[in-house]
Structures are given as C-alpha cells and as structure tokens.
Structure 1
Amino acid sequence: MNLRFVVTRLGMLVVTVLVSSLAIYGAMFLTPGDPATLLIGGSRNPDPAVLDRIHREYHLDDPFIQGYWHWLSNCLHGDFGTSLVYRGSVTDLIGDRAGTTLALVGYAAVLVLAAGITIGTVAALRGGRTEALATTLTAGAMAVPTFVMAVVLIWLFAVQLPWFPVYGSGEGLTGTLSHLTLPAVALAMTWIGYVAQVTRTAVRAELRSEHVETARSRGVPEWTVIRRHVLHNASGPVFAVSGVGVAGLIATAAIAEQAFGTGGLGALMIEAAAKQDMTVVQAVSLLFVVVFVVINTTVDLVSAALDPRAAQKGAR
C-alpha cells in the first residue's frame, strides 16, 4: 500500500476530528447569552454562586482556545465532565448506554452485509425477472426513511402480528436479540438497498469484463470464474459502500433508538438536547464523530489494499 496514501488519510482523520471538536465546543458559545445558563437548563433566575462555579469548572472565563483545549484534553483522558441534569459523570452515562448502541449497530450491520450482498449478487448472476424484482425492492427500501420504516414495523410485527417487543433493549442474549430485531431492521433497511444496488452493479460489470470472458474461453469452470474473477474483483466497491453503510448506521441510530425506546447513546443525546444538557450533547456528538471518521478511514485503507489503483489516485 502507498505510504503517502496512508499518511494522508491518517492526517485527514486527525484534522477532521479536531475541526469537528472545535465546532462542537464552539456551538455552545454561538448561542446568545451566557453558556453557563445552558448548562443549568436555561433557568431565568440562576443562582449566581452556581454560575460562578460553572464558569470555573468549565473554564468559561478563559480565552476561547484555552477553554477549548482544556475541554478537549480532558476528553482525550476519558473525562467528559459532569451532567448537571442527570447529576452524574458523563463518562458513566456514556458507558451505561454504549453497549445498547453497539449491539444495535452491530445487529443492523450484520443485516446490511448479509442481506445486501446476497441480494445484489443473486440479482446480478441470475438476471431477468430476479434482477428486476431485486432492483425494484431495493430501490423502494432506499426511499423509505428510518422513522417511517419503524412505524410500519411496529404496526405489522407488534400490533397486527405480536411477534416482537417494541420497547427497551431486553436482557440476556435472547431478550436483547428479540428487543433489537425491529429497530435493527428499521435502521438497516435503507443501507441494505444501497449495498444490494452497488453489489449488483459491481458483479454485473465484472461478468462483462474481458478477463472473465478469457477465463471462460479457456474452459475454466463457471463457479471458479465467479469466485476468483467476478466476486473477488467486485469486492472493492462492495466493501467500500458497506463500510460507508456501517458508518451511516451510527449516524442514524438515534432515530431507531428513539422510536423503539432502546435507550442507547443516540436517545441519550436527544434527551440531553431537549433538556439543554450541553455537556452530554457535546460528549456524545464528539464520540459519534470520532467513530464515524475512524470507520471511514479504515474503509479507505482497506479499499486501497484491495485495489492499489485507488491508493495511487488518492495520494496525488
């Protein structure tokens, strides 16, 4: 792999995180009024002693860059501050909710990869009506927003057919899988469509390629041609869009968590924003940005390893 490409991507990761963290920290200061009042829920008559304590604790009287660096350095050490609404450590709040979000995103990612790649591959290899049906269904899946899919799934599989629970995250492996099935499907459906479409296109392109025709003309068995030449060469774009899909699941997890009451990090951020608990909002937002950027960078590096030509273009 091109070393310059790797260094460039890692540098972009660091810059993106720093710029995003600066925007997240600065958003509080763009709001009219004293940022300290936001940290206590925007009270009209806040206690001056409380305001003074918040100013000292959050270094709000420091110059902007100095206060930002103090906040960021604490975050780098795992200290996200104290929530004045939830009356506890933000780090502990994140720790209590992170497992649910991780399980939900992981479940949805498995559905995206398994269903999307399978549907796209079968559609491209069989063609005809199978391909037309798969294209229609996946295009429809891509067009339905997550919150609409959540409502449909609740109505169908919880009201009409009471097969799955629709609230909470469950306990134990069986309970967790049962509670997270509907939110995972709602979260994954759009990306299943994307992955299936890209997989179908990539496999179709490889089936028409010259090297595949050459392998067939030499009498290479069809399954060997598909496995070694078609699927292997199509893996680059399929992996790339799958990685973007997993990152997208993190960005939209809050919608499914709020719809099904699973109580993950996304739901925590929405609740904290409604209560103007900016300390929690800043911490969760920064965490989501970091995870999103790391996944995208990892996808770029693996895609470059699968296709060195992409690395050469990206390094220019």
Structure 2
Amino acid sequence: MSRFLTRRLGALAATLLVSSFLIYAAMYAAPGTPESFLVQGRTVSAEVLASIRAQYGLDDPFLLRYWHWLIGVLGGDLGESLTTRQDVASLLMSRIPTTLWLTTYAAVLIVVFGVAAGVAAGLRGGVFDTGVLLASSVGFAIPTFFAAVLLMSVFSVTLGWFPVFGSGSGLPDRMLHLTLPAVALAVPAAAVVARITRTAVVEERDAEHVSVALARGVPWRVVARRHIVRNAMLPVTTIVGVNIAALVAGAAVVEHAFTLDGVGALLINAVQQKDFAVVQAVALVLVAVFGLVNLVVDVLYAVIDPRVQLGGESA
C-alpha cells in the first residue's frame, strides 16, 4: 500500500506542477493586462505604466515571473488581489468554509440518494426501477441554475420553508441556509450516480456467479451484499468521485444564485474584474481538489479490490 500511495502522490504532484504552469500561462494569454485594469481606463503617462509594470514584475521574462509565483505558492504566498489589495490566501481562507460546507452537504446527498436509489432499483426492479429511471432522466436534464431558481421559487418564495440568501451561522442555521443550494448542486450528479449504480447492480445481479451462489443455497441478503453490491461499487466509486470533484467548480453557479460568500462566487467576481492573482489561486485550488478526490478514489479502489493495488505496484 505504501508504494501504491507513493506512486499516486507523485502523479498528483506532477499534475499540479503542470497545471500551475498552464494556469499561469493562460491568464497572461487572455485578453487584457493587469496594468490596463489598474489604471481603470484612465489615460496615464508612460512613466506611470512603467512604474506599475516594475511594481508587479511585469517586465521580467515570463518563465522568471512564473518561477517567482510558483515559489511564492509553495511558501503559502498566493499574491495580492488587484482590486482589494488583500492577501489572496486570506481571501480564500475566508471563503473556503462556505464552499466546503456546501460541497460536503451536496456530496452526502449524492451518495445517500444517488447510490441508495440505484442499488434499490437494481436489486428490486419492477415499478420502483422504472420510477428511478424516470426520475434520474428528469434530474439529469435539469441545469443547476434552473434547479436553483425553481427551488427558491417553490420552497423559499411560495412556501417560505427555507431562507434564500446567506450561509447562516451555527450548525442548525447553516444547514437550513445551505439545504436548497446543496440540493440544487446535487440533483444532476445524483441522477447520474443513480443511473450508473442501477446499471452496475443489474449487470452483477445477472452474472453467473450470483446464480451459482443462489443455487448453492446462499441467502439472498448475503448474495446481494457480498456478490452484487460490492462488485458493483468499482464503477460506482469512479462516477461518485468524478461528480464530487466537479462539485467545487459547479458550486460557482449555485453560490452566485444564492449569493453565498464561497470560493465559486469569488472566482466569478475575480474573472469579471480581471483580478489575475485571485483567478490563478482559485483555479489552482480547483485542480488540487480534483486531484485529491481522484487520489481518494484510487485508494478506495485498492480497498474494494486489492488487485488494483497489486496491478499498480507490478507496473
């Protein structure tokens, strides 16, 4: 297991290094420059522009600028926001709790409802199976932003059950405020997870080894737990991991709709204001989160099926 983890951590480090270069390069390849934003369209002298470029190191060669930025990131220095003049790391730390609560809440909903509905549909079949297929098709077709607007209209404006704005304070109040955003964020992903889980369970249920186990008199509950559900969890783990990793990026739409002070809302504002340092930091965080979730999925693969671990170490 130690060699397996070492390989995966090395791959994650290489991914983050390449991603950091692409993120830094993409920001400077995009239209607009930091100095043009800083002057806010005002006409300034060449000396002022030169001083701005010197202050932010824009006259240095590109690779040197990237190297200084990378060293700063490794040391915890993500730069300074061009709009607020605040430390970017401090801005992120103030926004991360809201996004973390939201995505964790949504991830729990995806696992509980998506996996549970898919397993039940695959094992039971019949009307319940048809209902899950229909509900998953509808859920997958609903865009996240439309789901957010619909939930707000029904459960906040019409029924008044949930608040619309803010993330709340304290556990009960926070859960109340984040319920609608989490549901809006989880609906499409839960639909995909339910559909794929159901398909994986049906394939395992109709497999030959299941028929043999039942013919030998093994109780259905044991067969369902050990032979069907467990074997079906490999593809399910993959799709759950991918969808949970995508929640951080998808949270931007939901945070904007519900005016939450999360990382996603910070990213949208930074892009609109061409705040290079903030965009680069948030993008790097998104890549890191996606890589860490994939690492967790790899470890779960090795736990569910030790052959995955052995195959990785023999390569």
TM-score computed with the length of structure 2 as normaliser? 0.92
Contact 1:138 / 1:196 at 8 angstroms: preserved in 2?
yes
Q: SS at the partner of 1:83?
A: coil
* Counterpart Cα distance in 1 of 2:283 and 2:300: 26
Of the three residues 45, 64, 67, the one matched with 2:65 is 67
Note the alpha carbon deviations across 1:286-310, whole angstroms, 9 max, x for none: 1111111221232133224423455
Of the three residues 122, 133, 137, the one matched with 2:135 is 137
Note the alpha carbon deviations across 1:74-112, whole angstroms, 9 max, x for none: 111111111131231111111111000000000000000
Q: Report whether the alignment pairs 1:37 with 2:73.
A: no
User: How far is the alpha carbon of 1:143 from its aligned partner?
Assistant: 1.3
Within-5 A mapping of 1:106-145:
106-145=104-143
* Counterpart Cα distance in 2 of 1:218 and 1:139: 38
Q: Aligned residue for 2:150?
A: 152
Note the alpha carbon deviations across 1:3-58, whole angstroms, 9 max, x for none: 5x6565444323322222112211232245644334x2653335767645543443
Q: Tell me the amino acid that sits aligned with residue 12 of structure 1.
A: A
Q: Aligned residue for 2:210?
A: 212
* Counterpart Cα distance in 1 of 2:268 and 2:39: 14
Q: Tell me the amino acid that sits aligned with residue 257 of structure 2.
A: A
Cα 1:41/1:254, change in 2 over 3 Å: farther
Contact 2:270 / 2:278 at 8 angstroms: preserved in 1?
yes
Contact 2:34 / 2:276 at 8 angstroms: preserved in 1?
no
Contact 1:120 / 1:198 at 8 angstroms: preserved in 2?
yes
Question: What runs of 5+ residues in structure 2 fail to find an aligned partner?
Answer: none
User: How far is the alpha carbon of 1:236 from its aligned partner?
Assistant: 1.4
Q: CA RMSD in A?
A: 2.3
TM-score computed with the length of structure 1 as normaliser? 0.91
Q: Tell me the amino acid that sits aligned with residue 104 of structure 1.
A: L
Q: Aligned residue for 1:24?
A: 23
* Counterpart Cα distance in 1 of 2:74 and 2:241: 25
Within-5 A mapping of 1:217-228:
217-228=215-226
Contact 1:97 / 1:264 at 8 angstroms: preserved in 2?
yes
Q: SS at the partner of 1:171?
A: coil
Q: Aligned residue for 2:162?
A: 164
Cα 1:32/1:246, change in 2 over 3 Å: closer
The size of the alignment, in residue pairs, is: 314
* Counterpart Cα distance in 1 of 2:48 and 2:231: 62
Contact 1:20 / 1:289 at 8 angstroms: preserved in 2?
yes
Q: Aligned residue for 1:257?
A: 255
* Counterpart Cα distance in 2 of 1:258 and 1:34: 26
Q: Report whether the alignment pairs 1:79 with 2:77.
A: yes
Contact 2:34 / 2:274 at 8 angstroms: preserved in 1?
no
Q: SS at the partner of 1:60?
A: coil
Contact 2:24 / 2:280 at 8 angstroms: preserved in 1?
yes
Contact 1:41 / 1:277 at 8 angstroms: preserved in 2?
no
Q: SS at the partner of 2:162?
A: coil
Question: What runs of 5+ residues in structure 1 fail to find an aligned partner?
Answer: none
* Counterpart Cα distance in 2 of 1:65 and 1:212: 59
Cα 1:269/1:108, change in 2 over 3 Å: same
The percent identity for this pair of structures is 46
Q: Aligned residue for 2:99?
A: 101
Q: Tell me the amino acid that sits aligned with residue 29 of structure 1.
A: Y
Cα 1:32/1:169, change in 2 over 3 Å: closer
Contact 2:144 / 2:184 at 8 angstroms: preserved in 1?
yes
Q: Report whether the alignment pairs 1:194 with 2:210.
A: no
Q: Aligned residue for 1:182?
A: 180
* Counterpart Cα distance in 2 of 1:263 and 1:14: 29
Cα 1:32/1:125, change in 2 over 3 Å: closer
Q: Tell me the amino acid that sits aligned with residue 281 of structure 1.
A: V
* Counterpart Cα distance in 2 of 1:298 and 1:41: 45
Contact 2:82 / 2:276 at 8 angstroms: preserved in 1?
no
Q: Tell me the amino acid that sits aligned with residue 178 of structure 1.
A: L
Q: SS at the partner of 2:241?
A: helix
Q: Tell me the amino acid that sits aligned with residue 269 of structure 1.
A: L
* Counterpart Cα distance in 1 of 2:138 and 2:16: 34
Q: SS at the partner of 2:228?
A: helix
* Counterpart Cα distance in 2 of 1:102 and 1:187: 13
Note the alpha carbon deviations across 1:148-196, whole angstroms, 9 max, x for none: 1111111111111110011111111111111100000000001101111
* Counterpart Cα distance in 1 of 2:215 and 2:39: 73
